[in-house]
Amino acid sequence: MAEHCVITEESKKVAPKLVYLLKRLLDEWMGKKLCRIDQPGFNSAHLPLFMTIGKSGISNNELAAKMNVTKQATSKIVKELEAINMVKSEKSPDDARVVMLHYTPQGETFYHHLKSQVMDLEAQYKKVVGTKNYDIAIDTMLKLVQFHEENNCTE
Residue 6 placed within a domain? no
Give the Cα separation of 150 and 115 in Å (integer): 29
State whether the Cα torsion 110-114-117-119 is positive or negative: negative
Within a domain: residue 94? yes
Does some domain include residue 5? no
Q: Does a structural domain hold residue 11? A: no
Is position 106 within any domain?
Answer: yes
Lowest mean pLDDT among 44-53, 77-86, 98-107: 44-53
Report the CATH number at residue 133.
1.10.10.10
Give the residue numbers spanning the domain of 134: 18-149
Give the mean pLDDT of the chain.
85
155 within domain boundaries? no
Is 47 among the domain residues? yes
Residue 35: how many other CB atoms lie within 10 Å: 21
How much of the chain, in percent, has pLDDT values that exceed 70? 87
Q: What is the pLDDT of residue 58?
A: 92
Count of domains in the chain?
1
Residue 26 lies in a domain: yes
CA 115, CA 39: separation in Å to the nearest integer? 14
Q: Look at residue 15 and tell me whether its pLDDT is greater than 80.
A: yes
